[in-house]
Each structure stands twice: as structure tokens, then as C-alpha cells.
Amino acid sequence: MAGEMIAVELDSRRIDVTSGTTVLQYLEQAHPTWLQGDNPVALASVNGRRTPLSEPLSGDERVRLVRLRDPQAQSTIQRTAQFLAAVAAEQLFPEHPLYFHFSYDSGMYCELERPEPLTPDEIARLENRMRDLVAQDLPLTPQRFGLRALLKILRRRGDERAWRSAKYLRRDTMLMYSMQGAQLMYYGRQLPSTGYVKAFRLLPESPGFVLLTNEKGRPDVVPAFRPQPKLLETLREHARWVEMIGVPDTGHLNEHIVEGRTGELIQVAEARHNQFFVEAAQRVAELPEKGRLVLLAGPSSSGKTSSAKRLMVQLRVLGLRPFALSLDNYFVDREDTPRGADGDYDFEALGALKIDLFNRHLTELLDGHGVRLPEFDFRSGTGRESSVATRLAPGQPLIVEGIHALNPALTASVPTEDKLLIYVSALCHLNIDSHSYIKTTHSRLFRRIVRDAKYRGYTASQTLARWPKVRHGEETHIFPFQNNADLFFNSGLTYELAVLKLWAEPRLAAVEPDDPYYYFARTLIEQLSLLLPIDASQVPPTSILREFIGGSSFDY
């Protein structure tokens, strides 16, 4: 009841406030200094769900305050930086909306929707306008609309992308944020005001630019930019392709599902994958016969194993008989495994492998000698030599798949001209509208949640708990070497999240409210709620997606 006093637990202390009071209003009245300085309160976690400070309180909530330097504030800082860029672009280029295409390094790649590329001078003007908005410390005011009213607003504005994505929402209301006359819809919370955005840069990347935001946990520091031209071109190529086939965002994907056109979409997406393996197999065949070494690397849940198997099938079509060499058998004995900063064994470190032995065996195999390969016993943590020698026929391709495959130190003994390096990752970002998208890292996480539950017996919470360590390993051992690849394979499928949601949603819904990963689980559920489901029976048995949902024609 409006006006009645309610009890709330705020950072483990009981407070009494009037029902309907927002967290921001309470802080402005009771603790105004908490909203000042270089580490102000930026967000709130209400009953485990991260919210903006504009969230009204109704009683019996457990509220935890999140400050700007808390790593959990990072995604919201980035979203508010996006809001600033979109508003600044609307003010400077009112006829051409700003489109946020995908994540790139620690920033976001953006373009104006116009034929001409942005000039360095225009980008500088855009950055200066953003800084003006930050200096004014303008409030970002949320307003909740019913879905029907929201659709009318978006249609009236001519915002076709946002209208189409919102059209299929299964929720009754949606927030829009306004600032200095601009009003934009975002799938996620915003900071209280523009002054919270402490550090950013716009880096020209024709025809657009990269919006680079702060380091996680350091809101006033912009990290060094690490250009990855091959990765960027792969992401751009995917963006062009989904536009060409008419599925550039969640709204168009849902439209295909509603109209019963998913069968054709799946066939087209799978055919595109097949085209890559045809071309990759031809590249392998063109390697010198004296040494055909193929190295595949990629981050977790990118589909490396399925990619290797599909490439091997295509090589057989060309009359070649590939042999797969497992890096797992080259682990050092358990007691010799290096340890990480946490004191645990670091099985992902390059030092966890017998690199010298591996290189000697590569040279001998490619030279046609018989080699007694190692076999590693994971129970005892020790390796032994095989009793039978392995010998490759002249010109027989040798396939190696592993996280270190693109690291030059792994195969230093093999000349560059004798090997083909392939980077595999699910680089299939899924745009929601002009301002929001589902990150490729989340696409891989959905795959991992499903696979961990199906084949390893892990709960979604256990998978989410392991994810930061997995991401750290990727940042350390994989991403620094991805530009060494000769070929980039985008293993993502335009339709896959609509299939994965059938497995991922119930597992994420099982995460309890008092679980430390409850909020992360709810965020992922919200992303999946943007999509209608696709029946998995339409997915062919050779699809990379089958590695995660089961029913593959390959043995794993």
C-alpha cells in the first residue's frame, strides 16, 4: 500500500522506508556522499537480481549496493557508454542511426547506417559530444511502458529493428531511458547519470569505429587496444551474411520461426559450414606432400572436436587419409604439472605438455618414420609409451586439435609452409536491435551449459562457477595467438540459440535465488526469452550443434 512504512535489508542492515521509495531516493536522503567520489554506488542487487537504482522497494527485499569499481558494474558501464554514443550520434547525425554490431576486443564495433564511412573528424566530434554529456552529469530517467504502447512508439519513430525485436517479447512491460530529449530502449539497466562514465575512447575502424570502454574494476582506465584484423573481418563477414539471408537480428529469426521457415534457414546455415570444410580440405591438399600438418585451436565450446571430424571427412572425399594426434597424451606426469596462482594444477599451461617430445614426434611422423606415441593415464596421472609404432604414409595429413595449436612454440620444429593453422570459434553474434546484441561469449556459454548437463552431470550453477576460470584460460592461451591462423572458421549457427534454449532454460531456471550465480542465470534466461524455440529434430546429425545437444553421427 502506497505510503506505508516497510522494512528492507540494505547491505545486511535493516532500514525502514516508505513503500515505493527507490534505492536512489533513499541514498539521496540518507547517504548522499555514497553517490559521490570516485567509487559511488552505481547499482543495486535486489534479492539477487541486479537492478538500476531507480528500482522501487515494496518490502522484505534484501538489497546489496554495487559500487562503480565493482567488476559486476562493468556491463552496465558499457551499456551507458553505448547510450551516450547513441544520443551523441542522434544529435550530430539525426538522419543516420548508430548501429552497434558486435563486441571487439574490450570494446564494441559501431557504424552509422549510411553509405559513407565515418571520417576521423566526425568520430572526433562524436567523442567530444559524448564527453560534453558526461561533463553535464545528466540523469538517465527510466520509464516503463506496456508492450502495446511501446510497439506504437517504436513504429511511429520508424525504428523497424527495435519494433520487430519487441514484437515477440513475452513480457508485459519494457523500460525506456530518456536523457536530454532522447529516449531509447535498452535490454538491460543503465547507470543513474552520465557522469558515472569515467573513461572511454573512440578508435576509427573504417567504415565505423570501436567504442573502447574502461577496464573491469577500473572505471577510470581505458585498456590498451589490441587490433585483431582477421577476427574483425570474420565478424564483419558474418554481419554481411545474415543481412543478405534476411536474418540480421532476433526479430527476423522469430519471424522465420512463426512463419514455419526454420527448415530452410537451418539448411542454409549448415551448407555455409560445409562450404568452409570443402575449402579448408582443399587448402590442406595444397600443402607440400612431405608435410601436411593441420592445427585447430579455439576457445571453450567452439566446436573444435566436431570441426576436426568434419574436416577429416572432407579430406577423405579428396582421397586423403588424415590421422588425428591427441595432445592429451602429451601431458607431463601429474606431479610435474605447473600450478596456477590459486595453487591448483594448471592443465592449460603450455608447460603442462611435453613440448620437446611432441615436436620430435611431429618431425619423425611427417618424415615417414615409425613413432611409438605416448598414452596418458588420467587416473594415475602418468604417461607410458605405446607398444605399437605409428607411421604416416607419404602425404597423409596429420590433424592436431587443442588450445595451444596456434602458439608457435607448440610446433616450432615444423616449417611454416608445411602446416595450416585454423582458428575455430562461435563468432555468430546475434543482434537484438540497433543498440543491443547477445555476445558470442554467451553463445558459447549456452553451449557449455547444455553439454555439461548432458554429458558431465554438472548443474548450470557449477558451469557458471567455472566460467571465469575458463575465460581466463582463453585470454591467456588462445586469444593472443588467434591472428596467427591461416583460416578463421565461424562455428556459430544463426539459429542455434533458438534450439539451445530448450535445454538451457530449465537448467538455468533451477538456479536458486540464494545461489551466488542466480543473477547471472536470470540474465541468461532473459536473453533466451527474446527467442522463440526451434524443434531440435530439424538439426542434421552432422551439425556442430549436435556435439552439445546430442544425436551426432560422430563419436566423441
pLDDT at 167: 92
Which long-range CB contacts under 8 A does 467-475 form with residues at least 24 apart?
470/300, 471/441, 473/300, 473/348, 473/403, 474/299, 474/300, 474/403
Start-to-end CA distance of the chain, whole Å, equals 58
pLDDT at 44: 92
Q: 213: alpha, beta or left, given left = phi > 0 and alpha = psi -120 to 50?
A: beta
Q: What DSSP state is assigned to residue 448?
A: H
CB 50 within 8 A of CB 189: yes
Q: Give, for all 556 residues of the chain, the pLDDT tens digit.
A: 456 888 888 998 998 889 989 999 999 999 999 999 999 999 998 887 788 898 888 888 889 999 999 998 999 999 999 999 999 999 999 999 999 999 998 899 999 999 999 999 999 999 999 999 999 999 999 888 999 999 999 999 888 999 999 999 888 888 889 988 888 888 888 999 999 999 999 999 999 999 999 999 999 999 999 999 999 999 999 999 999 999 999 999 999 999 999 999 999 999 999 999 999 999 999 999 888 999 999 999 999 999 999 999 999 999 999 999 988 899 999 999 999 888 888 888 899 999 999 999 999 999 999 999 999 988 898 999 998 999 999 999 999 998 899 999 999 999 999 999 999 999 988 999 999 999 999 999 999 999 999 999 999 999 999 999 899 989 999 999 999 999 999 999 999 999 999 999 999 999 998 898 998 999 999 999 999 999 999 999 999 999 999 999 998 7
Domain at 5-67: CATH architecture: Roll (3.10)
The Cα–Cα gap between 313 and 434 comes to 40
The Cα–Cα gap between 301 and 445 comes to 7
- Give the H/E segment covering residue 103: strand 98-104
The Cα–Cα gap between 259 and 9 comes to 48
- To the question of domain 74-235 being in CATH 3.30.980.10, the answer is yes
Would you tell me the crossing angle of helices 262-285 and 250-258 to the nearest 10 degrees?
120
pLDDT at 2: 56
CB 423 within 8 A of CB 487: yes
Q: For residue 189, with 0-12 CB atoms within 10 Å meaning exposed, 13-18 middle and 19 or more buried, which class applies?
A: buried
Q: What share of the chain is helix, strand, coil (3-state, %, to 5)?
A: 45, 20, 35
The Cα–Cα gap between 210 and 189 comes to 22
The Cα–Cα gap between 384 and 363 comes to 20
Contacts of residue 264, defined as CB under 8 A and 6 or more positions apart, other chains included, come to none
Question: Strands of 487-490's sheet, edge to edge?
Answer: 323-326, 398-401, 293-297, 419-425, 487-490
The Cα–Cα gap between 6 and 11 comes to 16
Among residues 294, 310, 308, 289, the alpha carbon closest in space to that of 406 is found at 294
pLDDT at 342: 82
The Cα–Cα gap between 142 and 149 comes to 15
Break the chain into its structural domains and give their ranges: 5-67, 74-235, 236-322+396-549
- Give the H/E segment covering residue 383: strand 382-385
The Cα–Cα gap between 207 and 220 comes to 28
pLDDT at 173: 84
pLDDT at 346: 87
Among residues 71, 63, 70, 82, the alpha carbon closest in space to that of 39 is found at 70
pLDDT at 407: 94
- Write down the residue that cell numbers 526451434 correspond to: 534
